[in-house]
Amino acid sequence: MEQSSIPGAQSTATEKVIAFLDDRVGLKQMQAKMLNEPVPGGSRWAYVFGSVLLFLFLMQALTGILLMFYYVPTADHAYASTQYIIHEVDYGWFLLGYHFWGSSAMAVCVIAHMSQVFLWGAYKKPRELLWIVGLALFGIVIGFGFTGYLLPWDQRAYWATTVGVEILDKTPVLGDFMARFLKGGPTPGQMTLSRFFVIHVMILPAALMGLAGLHLFLFRVAGPAGPFRGTSDEIKAKTDYFFPRQIWKDIVGMAAVFATICALAFWEPVVLLEEATPDPGDYHPEPEWYFLFYFQLLRLKIFSGEFGQLLGAVALPVAFMVLLVALPFIDKDPERNIFKRPIALVSWIVVMVTMLLFTVAAVINREFLD
Amino acid sequence: MQPKLKSRVRCADREIGEVTKVVVDPLSHEISHIVVSMNGSGERQVAMGHVQSVTESLVELRVPSSEILVLPPFKRDDYVTTHEVEISHLEEKIHVTPGEVLVPYPELEKNVKRRTFFMNFTNVITFLIGLPLAYPIMRYLMKPMYAPFDNAWLKVGNIGKIKEDDIGVQFEYKKKVKEVYMPEYEIEKNVWVVKATSALLDKVYQGKDLEFRDATGTALWTNKKEIPFVAFSGKCPHLGCGFKWRKHKVLGRVFLCPCHLSIFDASGKVLDGPAPRPLDVLPVRVSVGGDLEIIEMEFKAGTKSQVRII
């Protein structure tokens, strides 16, 4: 056995246990390494989003596991079991509401996190892979939203899935296969619910954990990008380690997000519509709010007809993602200051304003439908 | 050259001790200070700015020893070791370890070819484990994807419900579904039926009977062009939402899909919006008692031509 760090005669039982573990695992060095990461230019509130996303995911995992204690993923019980969680189980409404609003919070924080990396020019060399893995994580978060939306098996769920899968169906050559594969048949039913459930609770969490681990690893290899302004002396003078100041800001960020989600779960509880069925009745199908802009976009004249659909349902989202993936290889200028990258700044504003306008348009359109 | 541990340190006037530690800047990865053990009188932290030259075993400072002696003692607690901090690529930049430390491969594995062989062998076996799994897994997952069409007639309601010509009337009906292992359950579906005047019928059928065939090409049913009852599948041909009969400010009474705002006239023709083809007409027949029956069909949304999926 190792000769090092033999506990002294006076050490307490706790110290002995810690020393025992440290000898075998190297805990102290690991902890030190996790906490002692230089943050160029010092800690900032702007840097909290990555940690907040990790926190959000852990909370989604926790609330999701708890929901599974009562939820049954079958076409004849999914709706009833979800109603049971909301109306009968103590604090079921809260955990479900938290999970529901947590997913929205995740969408918001992902957009904030990505925007920030984009505006800070932090995707540039040597952080290209970090950016690309981040994009994959973005895709996973969207996948979580899409698959989770079906699980309550109400009308909202059914129609969002119907339309969402039809969009996938528009992929050339493979579309029909992919759509049937995902649905487990020609139309949404039990097989769809089973598949979405497995994807939502097993495949995506595993993928997310793996990729988030890779993301963090790559982040640590490359190191934080730091501010885009200031001389190296100024940055050096303000440099901090991750612990304690950044961790303190992160935890405050997490608490703020936690409080917001709790408040939403409390004041805007989840209310299910009628049970899912292929007859929409009076319901006007609509996706989750963060997909509304895209929903509204597909209403545009330019996306009409078969070719227009290919354009809107496949070409547009694929081109957008490809552009994001290629970004660090297209934009090789080492300049990171956003105020000296007019194309980047204007593009970001255009994308954000478009999303905002189309979301607002979708909301306004609701009134004219009845 | 970087200062080495154990190097002697000489000031402008005399030798003062040896290098015991080096301090690295976390951002630039450059050595910023050396820590000098002062021959028994404590340690001092000396900035690299004071260093005039570095050789294999000697660090020469450009200041007199008195200036070093007045520096405050080195505070070890203000630092962590390189093992306790996360700075990548540090070891590539900083060479403080005297010489490389090597560990030999086991005697048997010294042959590079041999190790390459084992590596390839491992990859091949991994592939051979994966290969027989791929096909069964795909088949396993594909099992429910394709189902035969159900061409049975289904009663959806009575034509007594239709009070006016050329108007969309929704017939909601329940359908028993038996999906694989699930107990039989009912789902609600709907079709839209228009009792068409002959002018509208002309628009729908364009003067020709409409023939329906099953997957093998056998004739199933023909909608005669003079039968006034036209049934439309309740699924919007754009992206599969359920459309409704609505009053439009400009276009009058139309079928409107609330999802992406496709608009169709009573004959199913696209008036506005993104739908790529008219509403899907279904096989329809009316019994003597006025019961309306259909063969339930669903077509793929978003295509110009009809592709039946149910």
Helices (H), chain B: 65-69, 90-93, 112-142, 198-205
Domain containing B189 equals 153-295
User: In chain B, which stretches have pLDDT less than 50?
Assistant: none
Q: Which residue from A145, A114, A102, A149 is spatially nearest to A254, judged by alpha carbons?
A: A102
In the predicted structure, residue A175 carries a pLDDT above the cut 90: yes
**Residue showing tokens 């709010």:** A289
Q: Which residues of chain A neighbour B241 with C-beta distances below 8 Å?
A: 159, 162-163, 280, 285
Indicate whether B14 belongs to any domain: yes
Digit-coded pLDDT (tens) for A157-166: 999 999 999 9
Q: Quick one: B170 and B257 in the same domain?
A: yes
How much is the pLDDT for B27? 85
Q: Which residues of chain A neighbour B26 with C-beta distances below 8 Å?
A: 38, 239
Mean pLDDT of the A262-269 span: 97
Does the CB of B259 have a partner CB in chain A at under 8 Å? Answer: yes
How much is the pLDDT for B26? 84
Q: Quick one: B267 and B157 in the same domain?
A: yes
User: What is the rounded distance in angstroms from the CA atom of residue B215 to the CA atom of residue B280?
Assistant: 17
Residue A340 has φ and ψ, to the nearest 5°, of -110, 10
Domain end among B93, B111, B127: B93
Q: What's the CATH number where A328 sits? A: 1.20.810.10
User: What is the rounded distance in angstroms from the CA atom of residue B85 to the CA atom of residue B80?
Assistant: 7
Alpha-carbon distances, residue A123 vs B61, B144, B307 (angstroms): 42, 43, 44
Look at residue A144 and give its three-state secondary structure. helix
Digit-coded pLDDT (tens) for B95-132: 765 555 677 777 777 777 888 899 999 999 999 999 99
Q: Measure CB to CB from residue A279 to each of B183, B242, B304 and give the nearest one.
A: B242
Q: Measure CB to CB from residue B302 to each of A170, A186, A300 and give the nearest one.
A: A170
Indicate whether A214 belongs to any domain: yes
Indicate whether B253 belongs to any domain: yes
Q: What's the CATH number where B182 sits? A: 2.102.10.10
The answer for B 18-47 residues in CB contact with A (under 8 A) is: 25-28
Q: Quick one: B273 and B197 in the same domain?
A: yes
Domain containing A290 equals 46-367
Indicate whether B183 belongs to any domain: yes
In the predicted structure, residue A117 carries a pLDDT above the cut 90: yes
Q: Measure CB to CB from residue B179 to each of A189, A278, A295 and give the nearest one.
A: A189
The answer for A 273-312 residues in CB contact with B (under 8 A) is: 277-281, 284-286, 295, 298-301, 303-306, 308-309, 312
Indicate whether B283 belongs to any domain: yes
Indicate whether A12 belongs to any domain: no
Name the amino acid, one letter, at B204.
V
Q: Which residues of chain A neighbour B85 with C-beta distances below 8 Å?
A: 32-33, 36-38, 241
Mean pLDDT of the A182-210 span: 96
Q: What's the CATH number where B80 sits? A: 2.30.30.240
Does the CB of B148 have a partner CB in chain A at under 8 Å? Answer: no
Does the CB of A365 have a partner CB in chain B at under 8 Å? Answer: yes
How much is the pLDDT for B114? 82
Q: Which residues of chain B neighbour A173 with C-beta distances below 8 Å?
A: none
Indicate whether B107 belongs to any domain: no
Tokens for B80, please give them: 């962590």
CB B299 within 8 A of CB B306: yes
Query: How many other C-beta atoms are found inside a 10 Å radius of the C-beta of residue A269?
Result: 14
Name the amino acid, one letter, at A361.
A
User: Residue A4 — pLDDT band, cuts 50, 70, 90?
Assistant: very low
Q: Quick one: B81 and B159 in the same domain?
A: no
Indicate whether A31 belongs to any domain: no
Alpha-carbon distances, residue B134 vs A345, B76, B141 (angstroms): 46, 59, 11
Digit-coded pLDDT (tens) for B238-274: 999 999 999 988 899 999 999 999 999 999 999 999 9
Dihedral of the CA atoms B84, B85, B88, B90 (nearest 10)? -80
Q: Measure CB to CB from residue A184 to each of B83, B86, B144 and give the nearest one.
A: B144
Domain end among B55, B71, B93: B93
pTM of the full predicted structure?
0.90
Are B260 and A295 a contacting pair at CB < 8 A?
A: yes
Indicate whether B167 belongs to any domain: yes
Q: Measure CB to CB from residue B276 to each of A34, A190, A309 and give the nearest one.
A: A309
CB B277 within 8 A of CB B268: no
Min Cα–Cα distance to chain B from A103, Å = 23
The answer for B 86-105 residues in CB contact with A (under 8 A) is: 86-88
Are B276 and A306 a contacting pair at CB < 8 A?
A: yes
Q: Roughly what angle, to the nearest 10 degrees, separates helices A342-367 and A92-119?
A: 150
- Split into its structural domains, chain B has a count of 2
Digit-coded pLDDT (tens) for A68-96: 999 999 999 999 999 999 999 999 999 99
CB B47 within 8 A of CB B33: yes
Digit-coded pLDDT (tens) for A224-241: 998 998 888 898 889 888
Q: Quick one: B85 and B182 in the same domain?
A: no
ipTM over 0.90: no
- Split into its structural domains, chain A has a count of 1
Q: Quick one: B19 and B89 in the same domain?
A: yes
Digit-coded pLDDT (tens) for B277-293: 999 999 999 999 999 99
Indicate whether B3 belongs to any domain: no
How much is the pLDDT for A3? 45
- How high is the mean pLDDT of chain A? 93
